[in-house]
Amino acid sequence: MDAFTRSVLLLFVLLNPFILSVYLMGLVRALSFRDFARQLVRAGLISLVVFWLFAWAGVAVFENVLQVRYFAFLIFGGVIFLITGIRLIAGAGHPVAPPRPQEDVSAAIAMPYLVGPGTISASVLAGSRLDAIQGPLAIALALGLAIIALLTFKRIHDVVRTRNEALVFRYTEITGRATALFVGSFAIDMILRGFEGWLAILPELTRTTALTSVP
């Protein structure tokens, strides 16, 4: 499997449209297909800009703009992502309350349901694996596939909700929990990569500290 395909699949799985459809069930039930699609596309565009920014800037955006080391983000983001994955498997739901249909929900869908530690890390990884054209294209393709999957679920829900809504909801929830196993595994990998990075630069940091402390 080439780097482009791996980048698309990684981001798509981390976006997890199956479990997203469960989180956004309130919107799926309350909004028409047209309104739901409009809000979802807006959220996708917001997320796409954020993902492209991190893919283009890479590690530099953490160290030069946010003033934190990328390894620290990997560790903390991995912990948060791991907690989310455990809650998904346990059926406890997302730690953030779902958006309400009465408000403009595009920003609420984008953050934190689409933009999170895992998807940001996957965007940085895509930017480092691929060139300036393939990287943004892989991100856009993965995000587009996730949005199409959510819209497909909305269409199916509108067709069968009078008789089999509970059945569709149950199958979607089971699929989401199954993909949450990968989410937890990726979270552990984020934490391990963060610690590996810290251990790699620790001798240099220790030497620099020792030199600056010498009068």
pLDDT-derived band at 53, boundaries 50, 70, 90: very high
pLDDT over 70 (residue 210): no
For residues 33 and 154, is the Cβ–Cβ distance under 8 A?
Answer: yes
Flag whether the pTM goes above 0.85.
Answer: no
Q: What is the pLDDT of residue 162?
A: 63
Q: Which among 5, 4, 23 is positioned nearest to 116, based on CA atoms?
A: 23
Angle between helices 117-129 and 3-15 (to 10 degrees): 170
What is the residue type of 106? Answer: S
Residue 212 has pLDDT above 80, yes or no: no
**Which residue has better confidence, 180 or 101?**
180
Segment 11-16 shows an average pLDDT of 87
- Each residue's pLDDT tens digit, 16-29: 887 788 778 778 88
Q: Dump pLDDT digits (tens) for 179-199.
A: 778 778 888 988 998 888 888
